[in-house]
Amino acid sequence: MTIWRTARFAIDLAEPRVMGIVNVTPDSFSDGGAHASTEAAVQHCARLVEEGADILDIGGESTRPGSPAVPLAQERERVLPVVREAVKLGVPVSVDTYKPELMRAALELGADIVNDVWALRRPGAREAVAAHPSCGMCLMHMHRDPQTMQTAPMEGDVLPEVCDFLARHAHELLALGVGSDRIVLDPGIGFGKTVAQNFALLARQQELLAAGWPLLVGWSRKSSLGAVTGIDLAAQRLIPSVTAALLAVERGASVVRVHDVRQTVAALTVWRAMKREQQAPQEPRP
């Protein structure tokens, strides 16, 4: 049994888990700032839990290609009031940030996981999470930075570089005394990769599992789905998003990060029903 150790919860990853996205930003690529106020974001958190989210992921800075950085004070004002209420909902709370000051503040409020698109590479970030006795963390691969990642994406076969990057930064945490069961890895779909490279990461996802850590994968509403389907508006990419989440789980992902929780949970319920029958002892034929 694989367990993801976090501040308040030991998350059983024997079954795939759904992480619901809560964007507390006015410029989200996917929802246009629909949950930018504290009240709206807290209501959205509660709704996602009702819909079956196993984990909530709260972020106060958009990381869409070309998005500007948000000052620390502004990000704190957006995120911390939502975290303060979300930790009362009975599920693990993740904070999507690369700023160590915000990591520490959110963990002090009871957040369980730090989800960092920079893989804790910013000064002080590794130390901030390593100093916590038990918080979980997700390390993501990103090529370049949000402002430039799609102007000059990666070249060639990305699998070796992504695998090496994630394993290397996980081992750096182990060297700081972080327990291996606190770490989950994310290949960073859409973060400095071409459409073909993103789908190569999906097709060959098993290679990412060779490092030995569980995978968290985020395909929800990504532009690569729009590129292959012709669906330009992110909010209309429901069916491609659920399909990609299901394919990621089929290929070994332990956590899928999604906007559309209810629909993803329903799809995984069908998948689980099939798996149960697939694994059930077969009656001998007469």
| Dihedral class, residue 52 (left if φ above 0, else alpha if ψ from -120 to 50, else beta) | left
Q: Which residues pair with 19 in a beta bridge?
A: 55, 257
- Number of CB atoms found within 10 A of residue 73's CB: 9
The answer to whether residue 257 is catalytic is yes
- Number of CB atoms found within 10 A of residue 18's CB: 23
The answer to whether residue 222 is catalytic is yes
CA distances from 23 to 9, 57, 67 (A): 23, 8, 14
Q: What proportions of the chain, in percent to the nearest 5, are helix, strand and coil?
A: 40, 15, 45
CA distances from 11 to 111, 224, 255 (A): 14, 30, 10
Question: Strand pairing of 3-5 and 10-12?
Answer: antiparallel
Q: Backbone phi, then psi, for 117, in 5-degree steps?
A: -65, -20
Look at residue 166 and give its three-state secondary structure. Answer: helix
Among residues 16, 38, 15, the alpha carbon closest in space to that of 26 is found at 38
Residue with tokens 């693990």: 92
Identified catalytic residue from 64, 257, 275, 285: 257
Cα-based torsion angle of the residue sequence 89, 45, 82, 115 in order, rounded to the nearest 10 degrees: 90
Among residues 217, 204, 243, 212, the alpha carbon closest in space to that of 140 is found at 217
Identified catalytic residue from 222, 262, 272, 275: 222
Which residues are catalytic, by number? 222, 257
